[in-house]
Every structure is written in structure tokens, then in C-alpha cells.
Amino acid sequence: MKNKVLVNVYVPSIDENYELYIPINETVKKVIELLVKSIYELSDSTLNQEDKHYLLDPTNSNIYMDDQLIRDTNIRNSKKIILI
């Protein structure tokens, strides 16, 4: 799986953690859309899909920019990120 990384996603709004693969050749915006859809399904529809979501780096509290490619961020295998 050269084009994907396994990340640990914490979602504070539903107080859940998920380990999911995300593509490295997509933008943060597209990955957020994929994560929201996946977590919505995995959480039995408890995540609100209509809200605006962001990805946050918990080590420095920076929000990843929507137009960044995942491969150009510090997101790597086993990285913990927060979906807010």
C-alpha cells in the first residue's frame, strides 16, 4: 500500500478513535470528505456530515490546509490526527 497511510483518527464530537487508511495523493479536503463518510457509516450515523470539518495535528494544534496534498504534510503511518 504505497499510496496510502494508516492513521489514527480521533473524533471529539463523538468521542471515538478510528484506524483508517487514507490516500497520500489526495488533498486534505478530499481526505476529510472520505473520513467523514467512513466515520459516519462506522459510527451508526452519529457523526454530523453537514458540519464543516477540519483535520488537526494534536502535537502542535495546527490545522491542515484544505489544498495541501497528504504527502506534503507530516501525516505518515501511525500518525494521530483529530477530525473536528
Cell of 68: 495541501
pLDDT digits (tens, 9 = 90+) for 8-61: 999 999 999 999 999 999 999 999 999 999 999 999 888 888 889 999 999 999
Q: Which residues pair with 6 in a beta bridge?
A: 21
pLDDT digits (tens, 9 = 90+) for 35-49: 999 999 999 888 888
What pTM was computed for the model? 0.92
Contacts 24+ apart (CB under 8 A), 36-43: 36/83, 39/9, 39/11, 39/14, 39/83, 42/18, 43/11, 43/14, 43/16
71 pLDDT higher than 80: yes
1 pLDDT higher than 80: no
Q: What angle do CA 7, 9, 14 make, to 5 degrees?
A: 165
What was the pLDDT predicted at 67? 96
